[in-house]
Structure 1
Amino acid sequence: NKPFKCEICNTRFYRKCHLQVHIRSHTGDKPFKCDFCNARFSRKPHLKDHIKTHTGEKPFKCEFCDARFNRRTYLNDHISTHTGEKPFKCEICDARFNHNTNLKRHIRIHT
């Protein structure tokens, strides 16, 4: 049982802190500010990721080549270009893609 309920959309949470973060999606509250450009974020991890765009920090290195990335998700997307993995499948024609954005672009041909 999830004891903490959002009074706006009725989504429930196990922890009060998760509810508090969720409520920001309704209120638009963004308490975390970038000191470089004044961009604001609702979650501290999003601010930390953003700051890397200013500092140039790229801690995530590709094991196949010398490419480096500031976010793990960007690295994971890149790795699929080496492995040939195509995890995103069109439910209409079974075509497969290495990036979700490519699948979304493809789906437009069916509409």
Structure 2
Amino acid sequence: HTGERPYECPTCRKDFGNSSMLLKHHRTHTGEHPYKCTECGKAFILSSCLIQHQHVHSQEKPHKCPSCGRCF
């Protein structure tokens, strides 16, 4: 909550509050997508994006609307 942003991108000098956000950002410069879907080969910058993508292949709908009950 201090607003301190001690992690600086060596490429564009943008600064970040934590190292994981810097790493994610830096991958936009390098083009690195280390998390690859074993079903279709699509690759992602973040593991959380891969996990979300994998629902496309499994037809899993992990979220349920509390208002209407529909899953998505």
The structure 1 segments of at least 4 consecutive aligned residues displaced by more than 4 Å after TM superposition are: none
Distance 1:35 1:88 in 2: 39
Cα offset for 1:68?
A: 0.7
1:94, 1:38 → 2: CA distance? Answer: 46
2:31 equivalent in structure 1: 56
1:80 matched to 2:37? The reply is no
1:93-104 superposed matches below 5 A? 93-97=68-72
Displacement, 1:53? Answer: 1.0
Would you say 1:30 and 2:5 are equivalent positions?
yes
Q: Which has the higher contact order (CA 8 A, sep 6+)?
A: 2
* Cα distance in 2, alignment partners of residues 36 and 92 from structure 1: 46
| SS of alignment partner, residue 60 of structure 2 | coil
Q: Percent identity?
A: 40
TM-score when normalising by structure 1: 0.61
Find the aligned partners of 1:96 and 1:45 in 2 and give their Cα distance: 31
Unaligned runs of 5+ in 2: none
Q: C-alpha root-mean-square deviation of aligned residues, in Å? A: 1.0
Q: Higher helix fraction: Structure 1 or Structure 2?
A: 1
1:27 is paired with a residue of what secondary structure?
coil
| Structure 1 CA distance for aligned equivalents of residues 14 and 56 of structure 2 | 32
When normalised by structure 2's length, the TM-score is 0.90
